[in-house]
Chain A
Amino acid sequence: DTAVSQTPKYLVTQMGNDKSIKCEQNLGHDTMYWYKQDSKKFLKIMFSYNNKELIINETVPNRFSPKSPDKAHLNLHINSLELGDSAVYFCASSQDGDRLGEKLFFGSGTQLSVL
C-alpha cells in the first residue's frame, strides 16, 4: 500500500556504469519529481514531470535522464556514473505541481554508492 515506492533501496556500482532507479506512485498524482540529497543533507530538485511537460534542472548533467512511461511512473537513468553521483535519490509526487501549498509525498529513497 506504499504511496510512492522506489527501487532499489541500495545501489552500489562501479564508476562508468549505467544504472536505473524506478519509481511508482499509486496516489493518482499528476506530477512526479526526482530529488538528490547529498552528504550535507541538502535536498535539491533534479526533475519534475507531469502529463504536460518535463522540467529539467539546468544544473543536472545530461548523464541523468528521467523517463516516464505513464503518469504513475518516473524512472531515473544515469549514464557513466561518477564518484560525485553518490547520494540518496528520492522520488516524490504531488497532486498537481502548480498549486501553492501542495504536499509532497516522498519515496523511501535510493542510496547510490559509486566506487
Chain B
Amino acid sequence: RKEVEQDPGPFNVPEGATVAFNCTYSNSASQSFFWYRQDCRKEPKLLMSVYSSGNEDGRFTAQLNRASQYISLLIRDSKLSDSATYLCVVNPGSARQLTFGSGTQLTVLP
C-alpha cells in the first residue's frame, strides 16, 4: 500500500461546481497534514494545512479523519484559476519526512 494515495483524476468540472478530493494515508503515526497545489510545469505551493477540527479558507475546506486515516479537500464555486494538481501531503514527524501523494488533477471548464 502506498504511503499516501490519491485519486489521480482528472476531474473536469464546470465553473461554479463544487468538487471534493480525498486522500488516504497509511502511517497512523502521522501528525500533520497539508494540501499543496501544483500548476502545470510549476513548483508545488502550500494551499492549506489540515487541522483535526477541520478548517476553511475562503472557498476551500479541509477535513481530517484520523480514525479512517483520510483527509479531504472541498472546493466550492470552482474558478478557472483553480485548475491545477492538488497534492496531499502527510508528515509523520518532521518536515524532512513529508510524504507527497501523486496528486489529483483538476480542470475547471468555462
Contact = CB atoms under 8 A, between A and B. Distances in A.
Contact of B94 (A43, A97, A106, A107): A97
Nearest to B49: A101
Contacts of A43: 44, 87, 100
Contacts, number: 55
Nearest to B44: A106
B43 interface: yes
Given A40-B102, A43-B44, A108-B42, A31 B96 contact: yes
B32 interface: yes
B92 to A, nearest CB: 10
A44 B99 CA distance: 7
B96 A100 contact: no
Decide if the interface of chain A is mainly helix, strand, loop or mixed: loop
A90 B103 CA distance: 16
Interface string B6-45: 0000000000000000000000000110001000011111
Interface in B64-110: 85, 87, 91, 93-96, 98, 100, 102-103
B94 A41 contact: no
Nearest to B46: A103
B95 A41 contact: no
Contacts of B98: 45, 104
A97 B91 CA distance: 11
A97 B43 contact: no
B95 A97 contact: yes
B54 to A, nearest CB: 16
A42 B94 contact: no
A44 B95 CA distance: 13
A109 interface: yes
B32 A100 contact: yes
Contacts of B45: 106
A86 interface: no
Interface of A: 31, 33, 40-45, 48, 55, 90, 94, 96-104, 106-109
The 8 lowest CB-CB distance pairs between A and B, nearest first, are A106-B43, A102-B95, A43-B100, A48-B96, A94-B95, A100-B32, A101-B32, A98-B94
